[in-house]
Structure formats: C-alpha cells, structure tokens
Amino acid sequence: MADMINLKINNIPVSVPAGSTILDAARVAHIEIPTLCYLKDVACVGSCRMCLVEATGARGLVAACVYPVSEGMEVQTNTEKCRKSRKTSLELMLSKHKKECLACERAGNCELQRLSVEYNCDPNRFEQDTERHPLDLSAPYVVRDRDKCINCNRCVAACKKQAVGAIGPIGRGYAVHIGSAFEMSLMESVCVGCGQCIVACPVGALKERTTVDEVWAAIGDPSKKVVFFTAPSVRATLGEAFEQPVGTNVEGKMVAAIRRLGNVEVFNMDITADLTIMEEAAELLNRIQNGGVLPMFTSCCPAWVKFVEQKHPEMIPHLSTCKSPQEMFGGLLKTYYCEKHGIDPKDLYVVSVIPCTAKKYECKRPEMNGEVDAAITTRELARMIKTAGIKFNDLPEESFDDPFATCSGGGTIFGATGGVMEAALRVAAKTLDGDFEVIDFPEVRGTTPIKEATYNVAGKTIRVAVASGLSNAEEILKGIKDGTRNYDFVEIMACPGGCVNGGGQPTLPDSIRNSLDLKDLRAQALYSSDSNNELRRSSDSPVIETIYGEYFGAPNGEKAHKILHTHYKADPRV
C-alpha cells in the first residue's frame, strides 16, 4: 500500500497517497480548483496558471495540477492573491480570444466563458488583439479556429497521446499558436480525424465540420425520402446533452426525438453492426482455415484505418475488407431497401448519427460510393433536437422503424472497446463448434488499454487482442512486426475506450470529465442492454436472417462482397 501524506487544504485535513498533487488532494476534500490546461488522462502541464494556489514551503503561487503534496503541507486555494492571479490570467486570454459567444457552438458549455463569469472578468481590460486568421476548413470532419484558441495545449496533448502528432505549438512568446507543421492545413497533415482534440478543447477553437444545414434541407425537400440510423453508442451518450446522468440509455427518447424532426424514418445501426460481425467472422474463419493474412485487424473504425494507411501501409493486407457498420447500412439502404420499396437511390437521403468525426471523412471516401449522404455527430443531433424545440426529457419511449429495428446484443456492444471482438467471438465460436454455448467473453471487456486472450474452440486455438487509443495500437503493431506478439484477430478502436468516448460525443464540463470515468459508465449502458436482450449473437437476429435469405445469400458471398466490402490503399501524402 502506498505511503499516505497528511496535509490540510483550506483547513480541512486530507490524507492522500504519496506522489499525489495538490489538485488530487483538493478533490478528496471536495474542493474544486479551476483548471483550463489540465484534463484527466490527457494533459497536465500547468501552463494556463488557473490552478495557482498558496502552499506552505513554496515560494509564491504554485500550479496545483503539477505541484506534489508533502507531509504537513497547508494549502489555501481561495485567497485574494489566488483570485487576483486567476482573474488576470483570464483577462489576458480574453485579450486574444475571438469573443463570438452569441454564435459559438460552445456557448453555455465553454470553460473559458464559465470561469470569466465566475471571476467577474473585464473582457476589455487589456488591449484587444484584432489580428484575425481564416478558419481551417480543409478537412471534412474538423474546423479549426485559431482566433478562439487560448493555447492551453490540451488538443496537442490529446493528439500526442494518440501517437498522431498532427498539431503542436508554433512560434514563441506572444506569437505562439497551435497549428500543423509548416502551417499546413489539417487535411494536408497526418491528422486521422479521430476528433479527440475537439472533446479536449475547453473552448470553441475546434469543432466538427457540421452538415446539419444540409440535413435540414433534405428533410424539407418533398422529393427526398429521408432515413436516419443511429450508432450503438449514441443511445448511451445523447442524454448527457440534456442533463441526464452519464451512462443513461436514452434509446427510446432518441428515436422519438428524431422522428419529430420531420417526415423521417429511424433505423437501428446495430443491425449493420450485426451484419459486420457476420461478414467479419466469416472472413476471419476463411483466413484461419485457408492460410490468409493473419492477424486480421478490424476495419470498422475509419480513424484507425487512416492511421494504418498513413503510418503503416505495409499492414494494409491485415485489415478486414469489411466496410464499417455505417457504410454497410448506406450500401444496404441504397440497394436492398430501395429495390424492396421501389425507391430511386438518388431520392433516398441517408443520415447516420455517429459518435465519431472520422465517419464524416469515411462517407466522403470515393471507395464508399456516396452511400451515406450525411454523417452527423451526437452533438449535432442534440443541437437539431434543441433547434426544433423538442423537450427531450418529456418524450415517450418509442421503437425503431421496421424492417431495421431488431438487433442482437452483439450489435449493441460495438460501441465499447472489446465489443466488436466479443460479438465476433460469439459467432465464430458457434460456427466452428455448433455445441459452443458461451456468450460472454469477459477477458476482452473493460477499459484496460490493451487486452489479450486465447480461446480453444473445436480443436483450434484463437489468439486475440483488443486495443483502444492509437498509441496502444502502435504498441500492438510494433509487437506484431518484431514477432513478440502473435494473434489471429485484433480489434482496434482509435478513441480511448472505443466509440463511447468518440470525438463526436457530448462535450462535458471539466468538473465532470475529471471526476467520472466516462468510458466505463457509458459502456455499462451498452452491456446492460446486451444482457437484457434475448438475442445475444448476431447470427440469431431474424433481421440478419431475412437480409441474407432475401438478398445476399451467404456471408462473404459474391453479392455481399460487392456491397459490404471495400479496399484500402497507402496514403500517397506520407
């Protein structure tokens, strides 16, 4: 057990493990010290100077997020000296900040705005920097506004943590700013579009490239039939945008809200998560039985795919050829659904609701044939619901529309790290051994960055690994290349914790992000839904049975391969 350190914070006795910071100790005492550059598990550099406190034994004010506690230390967090320093720091930030709060998507949910109000700041105390820079609109997934940036470096830390390094500080002193190497645009950089920089940003300097106006236009166009489908994790996070507790499953209200946006149908993307598993499990077994390229990597995460294309092109043959559930649904709707209902595909407007900014890039890839017309994030859906004046929390529970309503629990857990692996194992094991009845694979669950397991099925040994966060993917790839890691199947999700922690999920106040395990609470909602579902395997879904019976024939068959699979190639820019 770690040695304990005894100290006082605002005269409150506290005991914390050795190595803790003053900020850690303050939380134990239920005292909130303001921060801007600090973000749990992402950034801790002490650069914003908002967490300055007075501590015995220290010369002057110290940054609570990095300053270690010591035995007998006494800390004061709210003295006049502390408050005055924080207010000055805020007013200096405001002198460079483009103050467009009335039209900023982070209005009311901006850490800088909140602190400025709390400290009664004068936004014009210091001479205003009026130099303005153009928005970076080069990427289809992220918009960068340099003039709103406060140089907290949280986005830089998030990008570095992802082993991407697309952005960093440029220049020195007053002229320092965040950008890509050689001032290139985001689309020219090595950015993979994961969006972790967006959820790390405390202000509105980074946001998704919105397509909400196009979706509203399609809903209002009488010549268009509009269909929405929602990714598995959205039901576990959308409620946060309406002040519901983290981890609340709002599936029924989500469906009801979308239906009230206009004359639209609402489908369940868990269906094509099930479809992805059927195709992916068949592909894996084919590779194992016929000497195919192993290990096989999942391909449902477009940021991960882009990461491989850019940094590890020699590993492209290891990627599954399966499209993601988003693109499978687009292909299914523009073929099977349109043929079944006599709809011209050009008159069908397909909207996916996703937790991921990289999906915006994915649906623009030429390999995807424009099968998804617009991909909107959980945040964008929440804004549409609010714009429409829909009282979300008062809505009744409603069900998805047929024929794409009934899914298996395996499709639902796709949104959590390890979920794709577990869903695939359920089907692959049953296919190899008809008597194999195990449903739960706890070894691949949880938010541990890298998980490994070995299973013996029908005399075959299947070695698997799961990683979330691209730095952990990098570690997996290194081991595979040097021969220290040997697997048959590997699941990778770009975002730490999987889609539940995607770059398109609701932006929550630092006080919540720094005190709760969002990844775990959101994932629990999905696993609960899975355990309560009578259908646990993707192969048990009657919708999947109908789709193959009426249209595709068999997993990995000729028709299925044409519509549900794709190819990848090395990025020529790197």
Q: pLDDT per residue over 136-186, tens digit each? A: 999 999 999 999 999 999 999 999 999 999 999 999 888 899 999 999 999
Residue 66, burial from CB neighbour count under 10 angstroms (0-12, 13-18, 19+): middle
pLDDT of 1? 56
Token pair in block for residue 262: 């206009």
pLDDT of 437? 87
Q: Which of the four pLDDT bands, split at 50, 70 and 90, describes residue 2?
A: low
**Which DSSP category does 288 fall into?**
H
How do 225-230 and 168-170 pair as beta strands?
unpaired
Q: How far apart, in whole angstroms, are the C-alpha atoms of residue 125 and residue 472?
A: 45
Active site residue 541: no
**Domain 213-564 top-level CATH class:** alpha beta
Active site residue 320: yes
Flag whether pLDDT at 574 surpasses 60. Answer: no
CA dihedral sign of residues 123, 125, 126, 129: positive
pTM of the model: 0.95
The three-state secondary structure class of 462 is strand
**Phi/psi zone of residue 472: left (φ > 0), alpha (ψ -120 to 50 degrees), beta?**
alpha
Chain centre distance of CA 448 = 16
Q: What separation, in Å, do the N-terminal and C-terminal C-alpha atoms of the chain show? A: 48
Q: How far apart, in whole angstroms, are the C-alpha atoms of residue 514 and residue 106?
A: 19
Token pair in block for residue 413: 């857990």
Residue tagged active-site, from 499, 519, 538, 541: 499
Residue tagged active-site, from 208, 362, 371, 422: 362
Residue tagged active-site, from 251, 283, 309, 371: 283
- Span 13-45, pLDDT tens digits: 999 999 999 999 999 999 999 999 999 989 888
Residue tagged active-site, from 339, 367, 397, 545: 367
Flag whether pLDDT at 314 surpasses 80. Answer: yes
pLDDT of 373? 98
Instruction: Classify each residue of 157-178 as buried b or exposed e, where b means 16 or more C-beta atoms within 10 Å of its C-beta.
Output: bbbbbbbbebbeeeeeeeeeeb
pLDDT of 118? 96
What average pLDDT is seen over the chain?
95
Phi, psi of 229 (to 5 degrees): -140, 145
Active site residue 87: no
CATH 3.30.70.20 fits 89-208, yes or no: yes
Q: How far apart, in whole angstroms, are the C-alpha atoms of residue 146 and residue 64?
A: 28
Quick check: 65 and 23 in contact, CB under 8 A?
yes
- Span 68-119, pLDDT tens digits: 999 999 999 999 999 999 999 999 999 999 999 999 999 999 999 999 999 9
* For the chain, domain boundaries: 4-78, 89-208, 213-564
Quick check: 490 and 467 in contact, CB under 8 A?
yes
pLDDT of 326? 97
pLDDT of 559? 95
**H-helix or E-strand containing 156?**
helix 154-161
Token pair in block for residue 77: 């967090």
More confident residue, 411 or 130: 411
- Span 232-252, pLDDT tens digits: 999 999 999 999 999 999 999
Residue tagged active-site, from 87, 98, 161, 359: 359
Active site residue 300: yes
- The three-state DSSP-derived secondary structure of 477-527 is HHHHHHCCCCCCEEEEECCCCCHHHCCCCCCCCHHHHCCCCHHHHHHHHHH
Among the four given CATH numbers 3.40.50.880, 3.10.20.740, 3.10.450.50, 3.30.460.10, the one describing domain 4-78: 3.10.20.740
Active site residue 359: yes
Active site residue 367: yes
**Which DSSP category does 335 fall into?**
I
